[in-house]
Amino acid sequence: MASRELTREEGRQPARRTASGRRYQASVLVVDDEPDFCQVVKEILSIDGLVVLEAHSVTQALAALAHQTPDLVLTDVMMPDIDGLDLIRSLRSEPSWSRIPAVVVSARVLEEDRAAALLAGANAFLPKPFSARELRETIRPLLSSV
C-alpha cells in the first residue's frame, strides 16, 4: 500500500473541552536551535489545531516552562548550551513537569542514541528527517490523554 500524507481533516486532533465547557487547544513546546526546523514543525502542528511554542535552546525552554506548561515537549538532542537529554532529565525531576510527554528528535539515530533518549525519560524517539505523517503518528498517542 502506498503511503500518503494525512489531509487536514485526518490530521486534526479532536476538539477538547474543559470542565467548564470551554474549548481547549493542546500545546507543544518545540526545542531546537534551528529556527527553520521549529517553523516547519509549527506549520505542521498548527494545521492540526495545536498551539506551538518555540525555544531555540534548553535555557529558553526552561524559561518558557516556568511560565506555561505545555502538553508535550519535542526536543532535539544536540544544541549549543545544554543538550535535549538534560532538558528531559530536568522535566522528569521536577514534579510539576514530570508527566509532560517528551519526544526526542535527532539526526543521531544509532541504537545507543535511542536508548540514551529513553533512559533520560523520553516517551518516544523520532529520527530526523521525518515526514509530517511520522510526526503526527508519534505525538498523537501522547496527546490523547490531554
Residue 74, pLDDT > 90, answer yes
pLDDT at site 109: 84
pLDDT at site 10: 40
Specify the range with the lowest mean pLDDT, choosing from 2-16, 21-35, 70-84, 99-113: 2-16
Residue 117 near residue 104 (C-beta atoms within 8 A): yes
User: What whole-number percentage of the chain has pLDDT above 70?
Assistant: 82
pLDDT at site 144: 82
Residue 21, pLDDT > 90, answer no
Contacts with 6 (C-beta within 8 Å, 6 or more apart), sequence order: 132, 133, 136
Higher per-residue pLDDT: 133 or 19 = 133
Residue 103 near residue 123 (C-beta atoms within 8 A): yes
Q: Which domains does the chain have, with CATH numbers?
A: 27-143 (3.40.50.2300)
User: Whose grid coordinates read 506549520?
Assistant: 43
Measured CA to CA, the distance from residue 140 to residue 117 in angstroms comes to 19
pLDDT at site 132: 96
Measured CA to CA, the distance from residue 56 to residue 76 in angstroms comes to 10
Cβ atoms < 10 Å from Cβ of 81: 11
Mean pLDDT taken over the chain: 86
